[in-house]
Structure 1
Amino acid sequence: MKKRLVLFLPLVVFLVMGIFLYKGLFLNPEKLDSALEGKPVPAFQLESLEDSGKIITNESLKGKVALLNVWATWCPSCKYEHPYLMRFARQNLVPIYGINYRDERRLAIRELQREGDPYTKNIFDHDGRLGLDLGVYGAPESYLIDHNGIIRFRYAGPIDMRVWNDTLYPMIQELQAEAKAEGAS
C-alpha cells in the first residue's frame, strides 16, 4: 500500500508546482512591492557616467524630490521610455537621476549624445551593485525619492504619459508639498 502512494508523489509535486507557476503568470511586475520603500537609498559611491573622476554618492541625491531611473543601452523598453523622460526633463518639474545599469560607458555616452540626455546626474553602475542593492528586477525601473533621500515609490517598467499623469506626477506633487512644508527646496 505504501509503495503505491510513493508512486503518486511525483504527480502531487508536479501539480503543486504547476499551481504556483500558473498563479505567477498573472502577477504584474509593475505592482511588485519594494522592500526599500520608506527606507533611504542604499549607500553608494559610484562614478558619474560622463566623468569617471567625479564620484556621486547617495548623499548627492538629497535636498529635492527626485526621480531615480535605472536604464541601459541594451534595454528596448528604455529606448521606448527615453522620449518621455526627455519631455519631462524639458518641463523641469523634478530632477531625474539616471543609473546606467550593467552597461558599457562609451555606448551609454554615445546614446545620450545621439538621443538627448534627460538626466541631472547619471550614475555609472557598471557591475550592477547599486541595482542589486535597490532590488532591481530589470531595466527600466524608477524610484521616487523624497527630499530626505528616502525611497517613497518604485515603478517597474517604462514610463509613458499615462504612468506619468496617473501615478508619478501626482506623487511628485505630493512629495514636493511635503518638502515645502518642512522648509526644504
Structure 2
Amino acid sequence: MRPILWVPLLLFAALVMALTIGLFLKPREIPSAMIAQPVPAFDLPPLWMSGEGLQSSDLAKGEAVLLNVFASWCAPCRIEHPFLMELADEGIPLYGLNYKDKPEDALAFLGELGNPYRRIGADRDGRVGIDFGVYGVPETYVINGQGQIAYKHIGPILPQNQDQLRQAIKKAAQESPANEKASE
C-alpha cells in the first residue's frame, strides 16, 4: 500500500482524537488572565439620577466583595438573582455592573426581583466589561480587600456551583486586610 493513502486516514484519526478530548473539557472553566490582578480602573455613572455610581475604588476597601455583571435582557441573570439576594441578606458586599442595558429596563428588572447591590454602575457601552474580560452576562467576580480579582465565575450561579463561590468568598475574605487586622 502506498504511503500517500495513509495521510487521509491519519488526519481523520487525529480529528476524532481532538473531538473526543474536547468532549471532556469543561467550557465554564475558562482561565482568566485577570486572576490576582487589580481590578481595572473605572468610574461608572449610576443607573438613576439620585443613585451613586460605581468606581474601582469601591471594590478595594479592605474587605472581600462580589462584583456581578448583569443585564435586564439576560435570562440566566434571572435564574441566579435569588441566590444574589440571599448573599446580600447574609451581609456579603455585592456590587452590580449593569452591562449594555437601558437604565429604565435595569430599574424595572431590579424593581421586580429586588436589589441586592450596594451600588450599581451603568456600563452602557460595555467598555468596563471589556476591561474585565467579560465574555457575556452573567459573570461574577470575587475581589479581595486589596482590590485584586481572586475568582471569576462565568455564567449563572446555579445550586451546583454555589458552594464553590462561597469558598472563593471565604478565601478572599481571609486574604483581606480587614480580616488580617482582626486576627492580630
Q: Give the count of matched residue pairs.
A: 179
Name the counterpart of 1:29: 27
The equivalent residue for 2:174 is 177
The answer on whether the counterparts of 1:101 and 1:128 sit within 8 Å (CA) in structure 2 is yes
Written as runs of structure 1 = structure 2, the 5 A alignment for 1:1-185 is 24=22, 26-51=24-49, 54-63=52-61, 64-92=63-91, 94-164=92-162, 166-179=163-176, 180-182=179-181
Task: Measure how far apart 1:19 and its partner are.
Answer: 7.0
RMSD: 2.9
Once the two structures are TM-superposed, the CA of residue 27 in structure 1 deviates from its matched residue by 3.7
CA–CA distance in 1 between the matches of 2:16 and 2:123?
37
- Change in CA separation of 1:49 and 1:28 when aligned onto 2, cut-off 3 Å: farther
> Structure 1 vs Structure 2: percent identity of aligned residues?
39
Residue 98 of structure 1: how far off its partner (Å): 0.9
C-alpha change, 1:159 and 1:57, in structure 2 (3 Å) is same
- 2:152 and 2:134 mapped to 1: Cα distance? 10
- Kindly tell me: are residues 27 and 76 of structure 1, through their superposed partners in 2, closer, same or farther at Cα, counting changes over 3 Å? farther
- CA distance in 2 between counterparts of 1:133 and 1:111 reads 25
TM-score (norm 1): 0.81
Cα distance in 1 between the residues matched to 2:50 and 2:22: 41
Q: Which residue number corresponds to residue 3 of structure 2?
A: none
In structure 1, runs of 5+ residues without a counterpart are 1-8
Structure 1 stretch displaced more, 119-128 or 169-178: 169-178
**Equivalent residue letter for 2:74:** C
Alpha-carbon distance, 1:136 to partner = 0.8
Taking the aligned partners of 1:125 and 1:72, their CA distance within structure 2 comes to 10
Kindly indicate whether the alpha-carbon contact (under 8 Å) linking 2:53 and 2:122 is maintained by their aligned counterparts in 1: no
